[in-house]
Structure formats: C-alpha cells, structure tokens
Structure 1
Amino acid sequence: MTTRRMSTPEPTPAAPRQANWPLRMAVVLVLVVALLLLTAWAVRRAAPDDELARVIAAWQAPPPAPGANAFEHLWLIEWDLPEAQRAAVFADDRERTIEQANATAAAPAGSVPAPEYVSSAEGRFPRWALEDQPQLQCVRAEDACLSGLSEIEPEAWQRLEQAGGLRERIEAVHGFGHLRADDALHFASFASAATQRSHTTRIALAIAARTFREQSPVQGLSLACREVATARRFAGHSAHLIARMIKSSLLRASLRLVGELLAEYPLQAPLPTECALLAQPPEPEVGSMCAVAGAENRWMRHALLLAVEQGSADVWSADLGDPSSPLFDVGLSVQWHARALAWSCDQGVLEQVRSDDPAAIARVSQWPADPPVLQCIVNPVGCTLARVAQPDYSRYVARGMDDLAVLRMGQLLIQLREAQARGEDSDVALARLARPILNQRRWKLTKSGTLELEMYEVSRQATIAWPVPGSRVAAAND
C-alpha cells in the first residue's frame, strides 16, 4: 500500500500589497493637502456677510461733500501767489508729497522720521507764517479765550496788517464747503493742512474778538458765528480720525467764543444773520464717523498692498516677518479692519449717537473686532497684525457725541437769550428748554452763572462751560 504525501499550499506573496502602501499614503497625503489648500482658498475668498459687504462697497470711494475742497487753499495759504500760478505750484507739491509719502510708507515701521513737506513756493514767493499772527486760544478749559485778547502783542497785529493778502485768504476759507485730503496723500500731508486750519481759526477768532471789543459788537459776533458755521461744516466731512479730532477742537473753540460774546451782547440787540445757524439742530454727519472710517479703511488697504509690493511698510512691524509670505492675505486683513470699524455705519449705533445715548460708547467698546477663528488659521500673520492694531474706537464715538452736544448748547444759548429778551427768568427758561434740546446730557447752572455741560470723552476735560447770555453786559460797559 502506498502512502500519499499531503502537499501544503504555498502562501500568497504579500510583497505587492506592501509595495503599494507608500503610494497609497502619498495619494492620501496629496488629497489631504489639496483639500486643506482648497479649504484655505475658499476661506480666504469667502465673501463677507451682506451687511459688511454693503459697508465695504460704500467705502470704495469718498462720499460726496458739499462745495469746494479747502485743502489746496490751506496748503498754500501762507504764500502770496499769483492766481495764475497757484494750480501749477500745488500740482508740483502734490507730486512730490506723494513720492515722499510712499517712500515713508514703504520703510519699515519706526525706521524713518515722519516726512516734512516743504512747498515749492518756498523761496519763490513772499511768505507770511500763520504762527506769527495774532491768535486766540479757546479750546481748553484753561485757555483765556476772550479775556486773552489783551495778551496778544501789538506787534502781532502789525504783522497781520503788513502780511499782504493773508487776511483776505483767511476770510476766503469760509467760501469752501469741506476740507479733506485725497486718498493718495499721506496722513502727514493732511496734518499740514489741518495745522494751517487750526491757525486760521485761531486768527479768525482773534479778529472777531478784537472787532467786537474795539469796533462793532454786531460785526464781531457776526465773524465769530461765521467761524462756527465753517467749523461745523468741515467737521462733518473728514478724511481721517486724527483730522476729525482736530476739527472737533476748532468747533468747540468757535462756539466757546460765541458764548462769551453773547454774554457781553445786549439781550435786546438783534443778532446778526450769520448767527441764525446756531438755532438750528446739528447736522447728523457731525456726529457720524462712517465716512471717516471708510477713509481709514482705504488707507489701510493702500498701506498693506504697499507692504506686500515693497517688502515693508510703516504699518508693518519687523516681528511680523515678510509681508509677501503666503501666511498673509491682504484681502482678509482689510476685511477684518472694515469689520472692526463697521460700528461707524451701524444704524443702531447712529441712532444712539443722535439721541445722545451713552450706551453707544459701551456698544462700540464691545464691538466684535477679533478675526474669525477659521480665517485666522489661514491668515495667521494678518491675525497677529489685527490683534496688535486694535485701538479703542469708543472714545472717537464719545468725541462725536460731545460735538453734537456742544452744538445743541449753541441752540440752547440762542433760545435762552430769546426767552430772557421776552422777560422770562433764566432759571425758569432753562428748566423748560434744556431737556428737550440737550436730551440725556447732564448740565448745571453754576453759582458763578455759567452753564456747565458734561462731556462723555473726558481725557482732556470733563466739562465745558458757557456764560449765560447777557450776563456780562454791565461789566463789559464799565
């Protein structure tokens, strides 16, 4: 009998399956990376929500503004320029200024000082420096304002009289509808024009006070009221937050002088027609920061694009690395900047501002400004930049609301004066008039006979005071 041998089956080779494993892993890895890149691309290119999209669309260009722009006039106001050469001189200045501004903006943060802009008119035409002219300080509580008129040196008045057509050019400022720099010009270039505007306001207030005291009270009051009209018109149409704050100070200075002149102006004397605007409610745009925020956002876009193109910028810290890195996305960063400023166009905030509700200040201080988490992951450098550059915008809101309150105080002074002229007691008239005009704003009549108005933005002063109309007539006549 023969024995059959059992044969064992040979094992299936595993080598081909093991050989495919790295390939499969590579495919999976490629797919994962592709998916991540696609997700990052989609997140970076995702459109903002409808409300933010509307705000960004509205900010693509400056909104219309009334009348002519005073920027060129103020830029060259110190020089006696033939009218035929003014446009050419300004065009040359503008070209050189933009070159300087772009060079400064492209330099690493803190590496170069702010540029000093010198007009091409320098040395070619007679110049009368505004800072050498008579000026009246009425901005801060400690400023003398009207009583400071006696402190102006006679030589300053002589210089103004000898300064060619300077006084006429200062008066011509009132013929312009607004003051703002175009987007191509650097912050510092606007600061130059804003400084000139500050000087012209203080000179105009000095002229108004001197005219009131030494020549004609009605004419002096007229000049002061005209300065208020220009200040409130300019305040409503600004290009940058810093410029807006400068205009705010000039508006308050003008109204303070008007209040002091009304205290020395007889109650029965008719007001000049230029003062009629004081009785009108403030324009809503005086308290709004929407257009100003739009200009800030356009400037941020310009600065970040410049950083990517040049490899550095004055808004770009060296700690952030290379701005052209794939870890930075300009579009998302500009969108985040717009989101952080979107409160300025929010209807709810605007309604609170117009009603003088201080809740608007707290609302803006808590406005969601942090970038969304997913977007932060795909734009980490921009996320760091956004979190570092987050100023407290609520104080700008408070300042705008204070401007509206100051204008309403002008309304109150005019209506109080009318009531006094009819024989109504000032305390009774104030009790009747103050609340409807000043809304929720706190005020008080001090023992010294001044109306003291509370400010929401208190970093400079907690209150502003005006004398009661007609309260200093006897003293002025002594």
Structure 2
Amino acid sequence: MSRLRGPTAEQVEALALMQQSPLPTEGNAFPALWLLAYDVPESRLQAIADADAEFFAATPMYRLEDHKVWAKLSTAHADYADQTPSTDDFERFCKTRQENCLDKVRADPAAYDALIERNRALLDRVAGLSRYSHYRYTATNSTDMMLPPFQLAGYGLTRVAWQFARGDVDEALAGACDGVRTWRRLGAHSDSLLARMIGIAYASDGYARLLAQMLAELPASHELPASCDSAFSPPAVADLSICEAMKGEFSLADHAVRSQLLGELARSPWIHRAIGSLVFDVDQTSAMTAVINARHCSDDTNAQLQLDQPMATPESSLNLWRLECVANFAGCVLTDVARPAYADYQWRAQDYGARLELMAALLWLREHADPDEPLQAQLTRRWEATRRGDRGIRFVEDGSMVELEEFSRRPDREWRLPLLPSR
C-alpha cells in the first residue's frame, strides 16, 4: 500500500510548480561566469561551456582529482591564457564584508594602480556581466556541479573604490550603481541558490555599502548618475523571493538522486539492492522534496514577502507511522532534515530587500534633508512612512551610522551605513 499509493494532490501540484519556467536563450550569464578567467570571445562562450558540461557529464569526480584548480577543468585551458590573479593580487583585492575597500586602496595608491593595470582584461569582463539578464545553470546532465569562479566576479568592487580614490568620482558612482543593478538582476533571475546569495552579497554588502561610503565624503549637491534610480527602485517580489533558485535546487537534487544514487545502487551487491528497495523510493522522495521547495513559491509566501513578515521555520514532520514512510524510511529522514534548512536563505533575501529600501531612504535624505533638524529624526520618519512591515532601524557609533534590524541575525552580517548627506 505504501509503495503503490502514489503522490498526493499537494505533491502533484508541487511537482508541477517545480518545473522551471523557460528563460530566453540569450542573456544567460552562466557561460561568461564559468569562463571569467579566460579572454574568450563572447561568440565562443556558449560553445565552450557546452563542451565543458559534456566533459563533466562523462567524467566521474574521482577522475578529476588531478585538476587542483577549477580552471583546468575547462577546455578553454588549452586555447586561452588563464588570467586568474596571482596569490599576491588575490590578497590585495577587497573582500565583500571584511574591510573598508576605500581605506585599503588609499593605503597604497601605487600598488593599486599596478594591480588594476595587471588585471584590466579580467575586470573588463567582470563589468561586462551587466549585459546579461539572468543566470541559468545549463550543465544539468552532470552529476558534479560546475561552479563558476564567483570570487573573480567580486573583484570589480576594488576597481570602483580605486576610481573614487584617484578622483574619478562620477565614474566610480556609476560603477557602484551599475554593480548593484547587475547583481540585483542576476540574483533575482537565478536558478541557483548559491548564485542568489552571491548576488545579494555583491549588490548590498559590496556595491551598495561602497556607494554609501563614497557619498558620505561628497557634498549633497553632487549629482548622482541616472542608473542609481533604478538600482534602488522599490523591491519587487522577485527581489525578495528564492522561488526560482529553489526550482533549480530541486532539479539538481532530483537528477543527482536518479542518476548517481540509483546508479551506485544498481552496481551494488544484490543484498544492498534489496535493502535499498525496501527503505528508499525515489519517486516518493522527489514528491516530498517538491512540497518543501514549493513552499517558497506559494501565494502565501509571496504575501508575507510583500508585507516584510519573516517566513516561519517549518517544524519537523517526521513520523515513522506515516503510510508514505513505510516503504520510504530513508527518503522521509532525508526530506525531514532538509525541511528547515532553507529558512535562513529566505530571511537573507528578505533582509536584502530591506537593505535596498534603507539605501533608497538614505538617498532621499541626501536630496531632501532639512539642515535645521537632526538627520536621525528625518531618516526615522522617512523609514516609518515607506517601510513595508515593522522592521526597525537604530543609530550606532554616536549616531553617525544607521543599522538595519535583520531577520537573519548573524554578528558578521550586521548591515550599517553612514548617514547621508555628509556633514
């Protein structure tokens, strides 16, 4: 009865929902990100990425152990020079959260002049990511994940800080707002949870924070580039949701189970196959997983996102007396472990939307501040008038910085910005 019961109506609906919506064939950033270390012409990016995907699909991971760096996993290694920065250059590039990039660049101007020149081709390709509209992982037939060098994509932040430090102020401001727009767009239209979180980090922890630091040194009369308006436009549901990323996670996990796990089981001794068939049902596990992932795509979740209400952590539902678990004990255990695992990712996406709103409020304050009233009072009033929920802000460091109350509470992720305009 347990084996033959089939999926419930809820599971059938969730499985249908987890089918990825088609995206345009043009505008996918995955090939450009995967080959970011190589000066590959744009016309060749897709063909090389497809060849690499075929290599991954045909080569088990244990055969890849000799490839100590990701770059050697690409067929581009044979025809194009690897422009990955050296270890010394890696240490000089700014990291997204750990440091003040402006201070780091100003501490050694000559060294950063040379750094930017040595890596100019790579940094141009990073800036070129602004041409793409979405991120769709295309190597779906591979059991081993093709992870692009996302870290290289974050090095554009250093060039923006370098431009500002050397006096190219307008170019730096435009670069920061373009960076927010790029990663806001790619993150919101990504089928990868990793790419989604990286988009959040680069757009908010990276470019938005750097923009605030630069504006704190400029008079309020300094005009902003037009791109800043769209960079900090009110967040839509796509900015706050991880639905598309969860569809991608479901697709990858389902493929891995069906191709890799079942393949290993088929090669096992008969006794292992017999036991496996008694405790694991791939179709029922897939249906239960779909329900977990589809929760992030529901109308109720979207309503919570629009009202900026924290999504509740789902509780464990493991019950060995459930009929569906009788013939799928292992699947029930696996899905029960996964059930609460994605809550923090959703909170981080919601926090990200609030970060965009706080930055927009600061930009409003920069333009409309009353010189006869404390900035803290004016910002608080603006925030309370425009925020979507009950999320608060507080002023720290003697009132010179504003800090956002976040759902994902981590000491290393405190998000604070200098008050604008500068004094």
TM-score with structure 2 length normalisation? 0.85
Give the root-mean-square deviation of aligned CA atoms: 3.4
Answer yes or no: is 1:221 the counterpart of 2:173.
yes
Report how far residue 123 of structure 1 moved: 4.5
Answer yes or no: is 1:139 the counterpart of 2:139.
no
Q: Which residue in 2 is equivalent to 1:16?
A: none
The more displaced of 462-471 and 366-375 is 366-375
Report how far residue 256 of structure 1 moved: 0.7
Match of 2:133 among 163, 177, 182: 177
Q: Which residue in 1 is equivalent to 2:74?
A: 119
Tell me which amino acid in the other structure corresponds to 1:93.
Answer: D
Answer yes or no: is 1:57 the counterpart of 2:16.
yes
Q: Secondary structure at the match of 2:386?
A: helix
Q: Which residue in 2 is equivalent to 1:461?
A: 412
Q: Contact 2:265 / 2:276 at 8 angstroms: preserved in 1?
A: no
Please give the per-residue CA displacement for 1:426-473, whole angstroms capped at 9, x wherever unaligned: 23421320113333112112214111112221235363110012326x
Distance in 2 (alpha carbons) for counterparts of 1:292 and 1:452: 28
The more displaced of 303-312 and 228-237 is 303-312
- Could you list the runs of 5+ residues in structure 2 that have no partner in the other structure? none
Q: Which residue in 2 is equivalent to 1:148?
A: 104
Q: Which residue in 1 is equivalent to 2:363?
A: 414
Distance in 1 (alpha carbons) for counterparts of 2:323 and 2:67: 37
Q: Which residue in 1 is equivalent to 2:258?
A: 305
Report how far residue 373 of structure 1 moved: 0.3
Tell me which amino acid in the other structure corresponds to 2:121.
Answer: G
Counterparts in 2 of 1:187 and 1:354: CA distance versus 1, 3 Å: farther
Aligned 1:93-104 pairs, distance under 5 A: 93-100=52-59, 103-104=60-61
Please give the per-residue CA displacement for 1:96-155, whole angstroms capped at 9, x wherever unaligned: 12223xx2499xxxx999995621222432221146365223324xx2232222246744
Report how far residue 234 of structure 1 moved: 1.5
Counterparts in 2 of 1:431 and 1:79: CA distance versus 1, 3 Å: closer
Distance in 2 (alpha carbons) for counterparts of 1:434 and 1:67: 39
Distance in 2 (alpha carbons) for counterparts of 1:242 and 1:186: 17
Answer yes or no: is 1:277 the counterpart of 2:230.
yes
Aligned 1:384-403 pairs, distance under 5 A: 384-403=333-352
Q: Which residue in 2 is equivalent to 1:20?
A: none
Q: Contact 1:66 / 1:177 at 8 angstroms: preserved in 2?
A: no
Tell me which amino acid in the other structure corresponds to 1:236.
Answer: A
Counterparts in 2 of 1:41 and 1:347: CA distance versus 1, 3 Å: same
Please give the per-residue CA displacement for 1:210-251, whole angstroms capped at 9, x wherever unaligned: 212213212211111110111111121222323322222212
Match of 1:294 among 247, 250, 267: 247
Match of 2:298 among 343, 346, 352: 346
Q: Which residue in 1 is equivalent to 2:39?
A: 80
Q: Which residue in 1 is equivalent to 2:84?
A: 129
Please give the per-residue CA displacement for 1:398-431, whole angstroms capped at 9, x wherever unaligned: 1111111111112111111111278765234213
The more displaced of 166-175 and 256-265 is 166-175
Distance in 1 (alpha carbons) for counterparts of 2:419 and 2:411: 23
Q: Contact 1:68 / 1:177 at 8 angstroms: preserved in 2?
A: yes
Q: Which residue in 2 is equivalent to 1:48?
A: 8
TM-score with structure 1 length normalisation? 0.76
Q: Contact 2:314 / 2:340 at 8 angstroms: preserved in 1?
A: no
Report how far residue 84 of structure 1 moved: 5.7
Distance in 1 (alpha carbons) for counterparts of 2:119 and 2:13: 50
- Could you list the runs of 5+ residues in structure 1 that have no partner in the other structure? 1-38, 473-478
Q: Secondary structure at the match of 2:369?
A: helix
The count of residues paired between Structure 1 and Structure 2 equals 413
- Percent identity, aligned pairs only, is 24
Counterparts in 2 of 1:165 and 1:177: CA distance versus 1, 3 Å: same
Please give the per-residue CA displacement for 1:262-317, whole angstroms capped at 9, x wherever unaligned: 2112211221111112441012112112111111211222122124541249xx9x
Q: Contact 1:78 / 1:129 at 8 angstroms: preserved in 2?
A: yes
Q: Contact 1:450 / 1:468 at 8 angstroms: preserved in 2?
A: yes
Distance in 2 (alpha carbons) for counterparts of 1:378 and 1:139: 47
Q: Contact 1:288 / 1:344 at 8 angstroms: preserved in 2?
A: yes
Q: Which residue in 1 is equivalent to 2:376?
A: 427
Counterparts in 2 of 1:152 and 1:237: CA distance versus 1, 3 Å: farther
Q: Contact 1:198 / 1:250 at 8 angstroms: preserved in 2?
A: no
Q: Contact 2:402 / 2:418 at 8 angstroms: preserved in 1?
A: yes
Counterparts in 2 of 1:383 and 1:157: CA distance versus 1, 3 Å: same
Distance in 2 (alpha carbons) for counterparts of 1:62 and 1:125: 34
Tell me which amino acid in the other structure corresponds to 1:420.
Answer: A
Based on CA coordinates, which of the two structures has the bigger radius of gyration?
A: 1
Q: Secondary structure at the match of 2:95?
A: coil
Aligned 1:314-329 pairs, distance under 5 A: 325-329=277-281
The more displaced of 428-437 and 262-271 is 428-437
Distance in 2 (alpha carbons) for counterparts of 1:249 and 1:41: 44
Q: Which residue in 2 is equivalent to 1:366?
A: 315
Q: Contact 2:240 / 2:353 at 8 angstroms: preserved in 1?
A: yes
Q: Secondary structure at the match of 1:452?
A: strand
Tell me which amino acid in the other structure corresponds to 2:324.
Answer: Q
